[in-house]
Chains A and B, each alone.
Chain A
Amino acid sequence: MSQKEQEIKFISGNVAAAYAARSAKVQVISAYPITPQTVVVEKLSEFVDSGDMPAQYIKVESEHSVMASLIGASIAGTRTFSATAGQGLLYMSEMVHWAAGTRLPIVMTIASRGIAPPWNIWADFTDVISQRDAGWLTAFASSHQEIYDGVLMAYKICENEEVLLPMFVAYGGFVLSHTFKPVIIEPDDKLEKFLPPLPDEKGWPHIFIDPERPMMHGNLIMPSGFYYEFRMKIHDEMMKSMHIIKQTALEFEKIFGRSYGNGLIQEYKMDDAEVALINIGGLALQAEQAVDELRQEGYKVGSVKLRHFRPFPTEEIINIAKKVDVIGVVDRDTAFGSPTGGAVSSECKSALHGTGIDTIILPIITGIGGREVSVEQQKEEFKKLIKLKETGELPKDMIHGTLWDGILEVK
């Protein structure tokens, strides 16, 4: 169980997520397997079985029951964890909303995959984006290390009394879940300095189960009751969580020495950039490679990693828009019928509304259903932004105002 020294392990993204739950001293895990997440809960079952992790491991019959059981465990005042993906998350959806409504700091990793039909198991963030309005904080990881670090930060953010909301940490299926890289696993003494203490027998400040003092929760509330006010509080505290996220990223950097920007976004070579590309997940890290290669060719380009989609960092997006004339916003997800067809680009556009900033946002959709996105392709995306800046000319073959990059010709 104990990790005395820092260790570098050569592991997959999924195994990094499992190590993070172990490092975070998670007390209850509830699990149902689904590709490409399965290795997370398999690895955790090994940890628990070998006595490496003193946690309760609940095997249930569906994802819906995963979240239902974690809600019970969390109300009882324990630190809880699970992982899911794609259809599993959709099946869990009712309880996903319930967890946020009960204000429980549950953390769950999502190895994102395309939604069926047709059946798809590869990277696509439509699964986690589909839970956009459930009241979960939503973070994306761009590297194996960021999966591990992101889960640690998640507990610190969610369990803060000013937040008390659940959080997703999402990463692309296969792109990160099944690739292997070196990951730093932190020792107990450093973790203890960073993580909040485990909840005591009194549980969370707002709710706890005690057989000596029975209570009801989540029961019917009349329209004249406080339902409306509860909803406002979720939004209010989600918005206020932004400063907790920033503070947590700072503390994380101080203790572990790894920087994640201001927690909400992470900029790369943005200081003198003329155009910028915003990405979520692994494509954000890969875009940094594209930036470096283009800068060698003399192009002044920069990259922005959107770490949090919920809460949405409106102010940060406005600041990016103040720096550059053109921003490409890349969605590896679909939001059918929305203004741009992609969830992130729609929000970025809405962030600029009413600010008087005339920076152009070029919505880009790419990598859907795990379609491979190369560094070369990302360089071409940057070049399209430069062309747009210099000539005002939009890329050819836009579909409803969005560049569907890498799409095959459809008749």
Chain B
Amino acid sequence: MIEKKIIEIAFHGRGGQTAITASQLLAEMAYESGFKDAIAIPIIGAERRGAPIQAFSKISRDTQIRSYSSVTDPDFILIFDTTLLMIPRVFATIKEGVILIINSNLKIYFNNNLPKNVKIYMVDATGISLKHELAIEGFPILNIPMLGAFAKVSGFYGLDIMEKVIKKKFGSRAEKNMKTARDAFEMVKEMI
């Protein structure tokens, strides 16, 4: 599907939604599934819960990744919170040919403002997380359902790889996380 040597993924979330952890897990899952190299790059400032957060993953099938700089022209964008689409600098990263995965249970109207060939996938990551009671202090954890949706859309790794990495990272909480991964994998849909 994508010809580029290094595939770049951008994450937009809010502090507490675990977008940064998602960028690390995605890179690790890609690496575990046989990609030659992967890097996770969080953009870290004086973040607080609720503030806009950015993170990136770069994954490569056959070359070493040597650049540490942030991603300006992503192949995939994962939007953890639809209100972030209203921030101009976030919206501006949606370029021709990009694949968007948005956490939402409602259809989004872009009013013909999108560039050409943008594919949009929707997944109700918040709903899935709440259903499986995957929340910290009442805040739903979104990283695993978003990565479950990404697995389905990209085909870069399967649920088996997700399970392997999640077990390593989350120990006793792995099963609960895997439930959200499987649900998101099933439920993610292209928005037409």
Contacts and interface: CB of A to CB of B under 8 A. Distances in A.
Contact of B69 (A176, A181, A286): A286
B93 interface: no
A244 to B, nearest CB: 29
B38 interface: yes
A134 interface: no
Contacts of B68: 172, 175-176, 179, 282, 285-286
Interface stretch (A98-106, A192-200, A349-357, A370-378): A370-378
B159 interface: no
B175 to A, nearest CB: 22
A373 B69 CA distance: 7
Given A286-B68, A374-B67, A182 B31 contact: yes
Given A286-B67, A372-B70, A374-B67, A180 B44 contact: no
The contact size tier of chain B is 10 to 19
Interface string B60-101: 000001111110000000000000000000000000000000
A10 interface: yes
Given A179-B42, A180-B40, A10 B66 contact: no
A10 B31 contact: yes
A178 interface: yes
Nearest to A288: B66
A262 interface: no
B33 interface: no
A291 to B, nearest CB: 10
Contacts of A285: 66, 68
A10 B69 contact: no
B42 A10 contact: no
Given A372-B70, A374-B69, A178 B38 contact: no
B44 A178 contact: yes
Interface in A149-193: 172, 174-176, 178-182
B120 interface: no
Given A181-B39, A282-B68, A375-B69, 13 more contacts: A10-B32, A36-B44, A174-B44, A175-B68, A179-B40, A179-B41, A179-B42, A180-B40, A182-B31, A285-B66, A286-B69, A289-B66, A374-B69
